[in-house]
Amino acid sequence: MPQRREGLRRPVRAGRALLVIPIAWIVAVSVVDLVAPPDIHLGPLLVAAPAITPLFGGPWSVGLVSALAVIAQTIIGLVRDPGEILSSNHQAQIIALVLVGASLVIFCVFRERRAKELAQVRYVSEAAQRVVLPPLPKSLGSLRVASLYLAAEAEAQIGGDLYAAARTTSGTRLIVGDVRGKGLTAANDAALLLGAFRVAAHRQASLDELVNYLDRSVCWDLMEPGETGCYGETFITANILDIPDQDSRVQMVACGHPPPIVLRNGRPTTMDALHPAPPLGLGELAHPRYHVDSFPFEPGDLLLLYTDGVTEARDSTGTFYPLTERITGWTENDPDAFLVRFRRDLLHHVGGRLNDDAAMIAIAGTSTPRA
């Protein structure tokens, strides 16, 4: 909270410093107008001072600059010709300054009110995300872990991508997924699945039994009131993995989700599922038998889990982000350092703004046997 307040104070201090610009403009116009020939009138240029002040100032700053502009216009009329202050032309200029200044003050009041509302929405959404989707622990057993979430809706900071992890007696279970849709509705669906995963992941059930439970949970939890079946339009793609403590092979059930990548000595390998399953929530349509695939994950490897917001991120020409191509040669074995570089590279590719939520988890294998 102190950091947040300090961040709010910096723009205020910067805005106050920039007040020098409109005030200097008022002084310069007034001086030039007073020394100019009688047939030259620069007073109308004073309106530029209050006009530019909303770029960096609030209602009080705009009101101050507007008042100074009106005073300057009055002084110009009195000094150049005391009788000119009573002329309709000079009075019209003063009235125009008053109207422009008042209008800009009202504009700034509404703008600040809107900014406070947006700041409150962002604060609430960030708090909700920390509850629904907290960052993964830095260590899970002897694994080192880092997680990254980039929301497409900057104002909301929350969406439909999800991830979670749970320790079992024999290893670590993880889920990474993507709800169909965006925004708060997708976040609610993600919360339902994460709740089901956290309840069931600790049980002594096989991976295929866990996935079957998650599919039924999604089916019933996302059913619309009054429906008799679970064939709605909502579904969730996901990869559910089990990383044993005493084995170098990762077990996985892929439910319509992009495959993991193992980065070994700078060379990425995509771990495609041999027996993919339909997305969670569509199990009753396909009546799947959940087959458990496996792939090697040796000490020193880096395991990458991600959502399609990564691979479907486009640059200005419409080119998708080539994930495996971009990370080829990356030798960072620290998950945090890897994701810092990855975030910078992804945002550079898209020009700073994603069109879809994106999430990624980096997991580092240990150099010692897992225990």
Residues 305-339: pLDDT tens digits?
A: 999 989 999 988 989 999 999 999 998 889 999 99
Residues 6+ away with beta carbon under 8 Å from 127: none
Of 73, 76, 80, 77, the closest CA to residue 101 belongs to: 73
63 touches 95 (CB < 8 A): no
Q: What is the pLDDT of residue 156?
A: 54
How many Å from the N-terminal Cα to the C-terminal Cα in the chain? 39
Cβ atoms within 10 Å, residue 221: 17
Q: What is the pLDDT of residue 143?
A: 92
Which residues does the chain have with pLDDT short of 50? Answer: 1-8, 369-371
Q: What is the pLDDT of residue 366?
A: 65
Q: What is the pLDDT of residue 281?
A: 84
